[in-house]
Amino acid sequence: MEEQVNISNLWRRFVEGDDYAYAQIYDLCGDDMLVYGLHFTSDRELVKDCMQDVFVDLYKRRRKLEKEMDNVKCYLFIALKNKLFDAFKKSVEFYQIETLEPVFHTEYTVEDLFIRSETNRHQRAKIKEILQRLTPRQHEVIYYRYVEEMSYEEIGKLMQMNVQSVRNLLSRSIQRARDFVSEYVFSLILLVQLFWS
């Protein structure tokens, strides 16, 4: 929360003409943007090209930008997503393929979670498998909610859905959680707690 306020302040200073604030926004959000972009493609250079476009656009349009921006990161994510999708569209034309819908992909590192425990391989693989069985949009909404901790409004903007649909999508996604947790991993919870505490 504090970080958000801080970035919003930087944003206002940037719109008012402070180049240093602009550099700081890059410094603070750059890493997350790259990580976010890599969920849509494994092409790291493409993500960086798009990030460059996002920041250059900001600089160009500085005078036209809203001064008050509650969630700068969400704004940057939307901009990056649009740039990435534009790039995909271009490559679709280039390869003359019908569709090449960019999908949100996540590699869960459940292994790390249990790295210190004696969990057998089979169980680990099972958890991972269940998570991987989620649809791309479910992955995406889970990412926004539990990794980036965004609000429903922000997620709605990013996924072009209304708030209620976001809630529904998220509920459906986490209903699976109940199943998978109860069936396979509850026995491990104590170990996990040891790990996280």
Contacting positions for another protein (CB under 8 A): 13, 16-21, 23-24, 26, 30-32, 34-35, 39, 48, 51-52, 55-56, 59-60, 106-110, 112-113, 127, 131, 142-143, 145-147, 149, 151, 167, 170-171, 174-175, 177-178, 181-182, 185-186, 188-189, 192-193, 196
Comparison of 24 and 71: residue with beta carbon closer to another protein: 24
Comparison of 69 and 113: residue with beta carbon closer to another protein: 113
Q: Which of 155, 148, 180 is nearest to 170 (CA)?
A: 155
Q: Do residues 20 and 9 touch, judged by C-beta distance below 8 A?
A: no
Distance of closest approach, residue 195 Cβ to another protein, in angstroms: 9
Distance of closest approach, residue 73 Cβ to another protein, in angstroms: 13
Distance of closest approach, residue 88 Cβ to another protein, in angstroms: 20
Instruction: Reduce the DSSP state of residue 60 to 3 states and report it.
Output: helix
Comparison of 13 and 92: residue with beta carbon closer to another protein: 13
Integer Cα distance of 11 and 70 in angstroms: 9
Comparison of 124 and 157: residue with beta carbon closer to another protein: 124
Cβ count near 69 (within 10 Å): 19
Distance of closest approach, residue 178 Cβ to another protein, in angstroms: 5
Six-digit token string for 153: 């409004």
CA distances from 144 to 15, 32, 44, 77, 158 (A): 26, 12, 20, 10, 9
Six-digit token string for 131: 């998570």
Integer Cα distance of 160 and 106 in angstroms: 20
Distance of closest approach, residue 122 Cβ to another protein, in angstroms: 16
Comparison of 20 and 90: residue with beta carbon closer to another protein: 20
Cβ count near 48 (within 10 Å): 14
